[in-house]
Amino acid sequence: MRPMIQFVKDNLEGTLTGAEVGVAQCTHANSILRNLDCDLYLVDKWEQDFTIEHAMSKLKGEANFTPSDSVEGASRFPDGLFDFVYIDADHTYEGVKRDIIAWLPKVKTGGVIGGHDYSVEYTGVMNAVNELVPEATIIKTDWYWRKKQCV
């Protein structure tokens, strides 16, 4: 289980509402569903080798699929809906910055936003996170931040 999901499990209660942005083969989505009591929304274009049909069959109806670009996908949800949002989509500085800006309002106060690939291999991720959420907790290659006030 990724560090952010462990933090969510340890700190948030009840049935949660979460999103994973950048899903690909659903490996992390499976882990989220195994470890959290949640309604999970998956946002991805599914344009690479892994199709949405394959993803849907792999999760057997346990998640809600939103085939979309990450920023466009964010616009489909009301602000303050999610207890957690996990970002693992575009790893460029511009892409991560767009994703954080688009998805942060969707996280309710007290909720958690975070992601993967905070490493020297992905300086775009590191730079965008450092700029937009400098208080983020970094564990291995994961980052997360608990939203304390409306942003």
Q: So where are the chain's domains? A: 3-146
Mean pLDDT to the nearest integer, 83-89: 96
pLDDT digits (tens, 9 = 90+) for 54-76: 666 666 668 888 889 999 999 99
Selecting from 3.40.47.10, 3.40.50.150, 3.20.20.30, 3.40.190.10, what CATH number does the domain 3-146 have? 3.40.50.150
Q: pTM of the entire structure?
A: 0.92
Spatial distance between the Cα atoms of 108 and 81, rounded to a whole number of angstroms: 6
CB within 8 Å of 17: residues ≥ 6 apart: 38, 39, 41, 81, 82, 83
pLDDT digits (tens, 9 = 90+) for 132-146: 999 999 999 999 999
User: Which of 27-41, 60-74, 93-107 bottoms out in mean pLDDT, i.e. has the lowest?
Assistant: 60-74
